[in-house]
Structure 1
Amino acid sequence: MSKTEKLLKRLDEIGKVLERKGGAEMLLGLGSVGMETERLDEYSDLDFFVIVKPGYKERYIRQLDWLEEVYPLAYSFRNTDDGCKILFDDGIYGEYAIFEERELESCHYAEGRVVWKAPSYTRVDFAKPSRPAPRLIEDSLDHPLNEALTNLYVGLGRYARGEKLTATRFVQSYAVGSILSVLHLLETEEPYFPDVFGLERRLEKRYPRFAANLGEMIQGYDRVPESALCILQYIERVYPVNQRLAREIRQLANICRQL
């Protein structure tokens, strides 16, 4: 049995155990085991919600017998108030959250696939979120790209002081992240499962032209100046950069390269 088949089978088996245990109303598969099974591969994992009756939430978070009955657990970690991260003994990894119905009304989540539900439970509309996901993309280049430019300047100043870790974040994370928020304005997005909670997800397939630049933009801890110069050059190709600021960034980068 392939990994993808095992993942879907494991989720079905969890649903059967929930039915026997009682107190559960519905099991929602999310992500690649939810509405996007076409992208399942050997590196996928389980991501799911369990909707329970009032009073059952803590039972299903604190007592993991409902998972152990499906397959022995090698590891579990309660990472939020609502759920855990787990590793089954056969190597299948998963993350889940337990909610009462009333809690879902205020949650942000992507549409899920109903894997199992109690016969008497009728609220299948909860498979779709009632609240829109937080907006990550921007409608104008001005703010994000100027934010990226100032990230470069501040980051290089910190690098010059010897603060290389924070410099790495400003240049290779914050500045690049700002660019991601406007990529849809700069090039055509290929249709491949965008994630409303993370612009970096599947970026290599969604924006292959931009992704070809990432190796130069993100060169690592010891090459922050070189990364900053590549990011600056990219922004200059797509936006009218203030020339004085560009000169200051290049001057700082050259100072940093000599340290």
Structure 2
Amino acid sequence: MTTPDRFEDLSDGLARGVRDHDDLIGLVLLGSASDAARARRDEWSDHDFFALIAQGRGAAVRPDLSWLPDPHRVALTAREGEIGFVAVYDDGHVFEFALAEPAELAGAVAEDATIVVDTGDVTAELIAAARDRAAASDTWDPVNDTRLVLVKLLIGVGRARRGETLVAGSFVRQWAVQHLVRAVRGRFPSRSTAHRDAIDPVRRFELDFPAEAAAIADAVAEPVESAGRALFQLTRQLLEPGWDLFPSRGADAVAARLGWHDGAGGPRRS
């Protein structure tokens, strides 16, 4: 469990580590680690951050993470791609971070962010652009997302019937759910509050749509084909009534192809 004092100590240690490193030029605390999102922190909050490296020094800097605070308490580290890292402390606290040159973060997105270290104003410029990209991505296309829910469910259930259970689960429980959440947010935009995450619409979905979130969670707890059918039902029940743009013909085609002859319980229109 990470106490508030421990969280702040780690934040301070990060700042010291970056400032004391000759090749690190910036530190940005993201999400619940930022000042703006401090109220969201709880015992499960991680440290998400960008640590910026001087241009041309990335390859030399990335192999050595000894600048992290309390390095003797780091239980494991791992890499996610070229610039992504994770560190887990012996008390279970997690760091997830990009350790990158500014140019390598040219496409980054950021919402809540606190600039802690900035040498030469490079970090401030990068975060301003990242915030603009996050704001631009905070939109939904419910028509297209609804269509993609149906596609992912059709493919996923087909994979399950072929015996490819693991990949079927990814289609049904991951990709179809992501598109369904986006479709619900787009269909009912006034219900998405400031709790939402502009980068990941699934984050804190329960706070804006508690009943819908509970129904989706119940659905994905089922075996993969049952989960797919339950999500299909939810898609029609939540989105189709009163919405002329719902792809009813496509939903009927999916139901027919999978042998769900009752349309899986969803409303049908002529």
TM (normalized to structure 1)? 0.80
What are the superposed Cα offsets for residues 86-113 of structure 1, whole Å, 9 maximum, x if unpaired?
1223432102222333433x22220420
CA contact (8 A) 2:142 2:182 kept: no
Instruction: Please name the residue that 1:231 is paired with.
Output: 231
Aligned to 1:122: 121
* Residue range with higher mean Cα deviation, 46-55 or 186-195: 186-195
1:225, 1:253 within 8 Å by CA — same for their partners in 2? no
Amino acid at match of 1:204: E
Instruction: Please give the residue correspondences for 1:65-80 in structure 2 after superposition, counting only pairs within 5 Å.
Output: 65-67=66-68, 72-80=73-81
Residue-by-residue CA offset, 1:146-190 (whole Å, 9 max, x unaligned) = 332233333333333333333333333332222122222333434
AA in 1 matched with 2:18: L
Q: What residue number does 1:163 align with?
A: 164
Partner of 1:257: none
Give the number of equivalent residue pairs.
Answer: 248
Q: Give the aligned partner of residue 6 of structure 2.
A: 6
- Cα distance in 2, alignment partners of residues 162 and 216 from structure 1: 23
SS at match of 2:67: helix
Q: CA deviation at 1:252?
A: 4.7
SS in 2 for 1:42: coil
Aligned pairs for 1:106-145 within 5 A: 106-111=106-111, 112-118=113-119, 121-123=120-122, 124-130=124-130, 132-133=133-134, 135=137, 137-141=139-143, 143-145=144-146
* d(CA) in 1 for partners of 2:59, 2:257: 53
Judge conservation of contact 1:75–1:88 (CA < 8 Å) in 2.
yes
Q: Which residue of 2 aligns with 1:61?
A: 62
Tell me how far 1:32 sits from its aligned partner: 0.8
> Alpha carbons of 1:103 and 1:228: their partners in 2 closer, same or farther (altered >3 Å)?
closer
1:26 is displaced (CA, Å) by: 1.9
Determine if contact 1:52/1:101 at 8 Å carries over to the other structure.
yes
Deviation at 1:218, TM superposition (A): 0.8
Distance 1:155 1:83 in 2: 30
Offset from partner CA, 1:80-139 (integer Å, 9 cap, x none): 2224211223432102222333433x2222042012345xx3343333235614847533
For residues 49-73 of structure 1, give each alpha carbon's deviation from its aligned partner in whole angstroms, at most 9, with x where no partner exists.
Answer: 1223234333431112212656532
Question: Does 1:94 find its partner at 2:95?
Answer: yes
Amino acid at match of 1:211: A
Question: 1:196 and 1:38 mapped to 2: Cα distance?
Answer: 17
TM-score, normalised on structure 2? 0.77
| Aligned partners of 1:218 and 1:227 also within 8 Å | yes
Q: Which residue of 1 aligns with 2:253?
A: 245
Cα separation, partners in 2 of 1:95 and 1:168, compared to 1, 3 Å: closer
- Answering whether residue 42 of structure 2 is matched by residue 41 of structure 1, we say yes
Instruction: Specify the SS of the correspondent of 2:11.
Output: helix
Identity %: 23
Tell me if the contact between 1:219 and 1:227 (Cα under 8 Å) persists in the aligned partners: yes
Q: Deviations over 1:187-220 (max 9, x none)?
A: 3434244333322212111321310211332134
In structure 2, distance between residues paired with 1:163 and 1:83: 30
For 2:193, the equivalent position in structure 1 comes to 191
Query: Kindly tell me: are residues 208 and 70 of structure 1, through their superposed partners in 2, closer, same or farther at Cα, counting changes over 3 Å?
Result: same
Q: Where do 5+ consecutive residues of structure 1 fail to align?
A: 255-259
